[in-house]
Amino acid sequence: MPTIDVGTVVQPHQLHAIDGTAVTVPDPHRLVHLQFRRFAGCPICHLHLRSVVARHDEITAAGIREVVVFHSSADALREYQADLPFAVIADPQRELYREFGVESSVASVAHPRAWLAAARGAARQRSVTAGLGRGEDHFGKPADFLIGSDGTVLASKYGAHADDQWPVTEILGLAEQFTSRQPGGPD
């Protein structure tokens, strides 16, 4: 599957969040952190997204709009992700995943870091099996893209395993690095 390289200009997308709001990527006024996560009840994703929620005010203040894509249905996502303070996009047909080259692999859950994150995330969810067995792909890998207001991919990360995504400190560092290059950014 082809990947999206830094410097690629992505075509504009009009997405619809699970709460019904329209989401434009790229955003003409802010950087977009486009995250590709796994399935709705994924304990690893749950753990990671809670770290993003805890620092969402900092992320927003840095000029970043969070957009999180799951390959689950909107109904499944509402059960687990409806309380998130940013756009959550359902992509059960994996159209955006294919477009951005985000893959699945059994190796995604074979790494010890993925096992540890799954155990920590499951402990914070309602039950160890929360969200499992829905017929969704449990071998998905995460991916992160920082997209400029003109659609240029400024930075990207294709996760090697299920718990291999940008931590919030890296997201903020990338935003600081690229904000001055955005229209309306500091000189």
* Tens digits of residue pLDDT in 57-116: 999 999 999 999 998 899 988 887 778 899 999 999 999 999 999 975 545 554 445 444
- Predicted TM-score of the model (pTM): 0.80
Cβ(142)–Cβ(38) below 8 Å: yes
Pairing of strands 143-147, 153-158: antiparallel
Domains of the chain: 13-159 (3.40.30.10)
Q: Tokens 């159209």 map to which residue?
A: 95
Q: Is residue 36 over pLDDT 70?
A: yes
CA 167 → CA 15, 43, 54, 96, 164, distances in Å?
Answer: 24, 16, 12, 22, 9
Contacts of 134 (CB under 8 A, 6+ apart): 39, 40, 41, 72, 76
* Tens digits of residue pLDDT in 131-176: 444 545 555 688 999 999 999 999 999 988 777 889 999 999 999 9
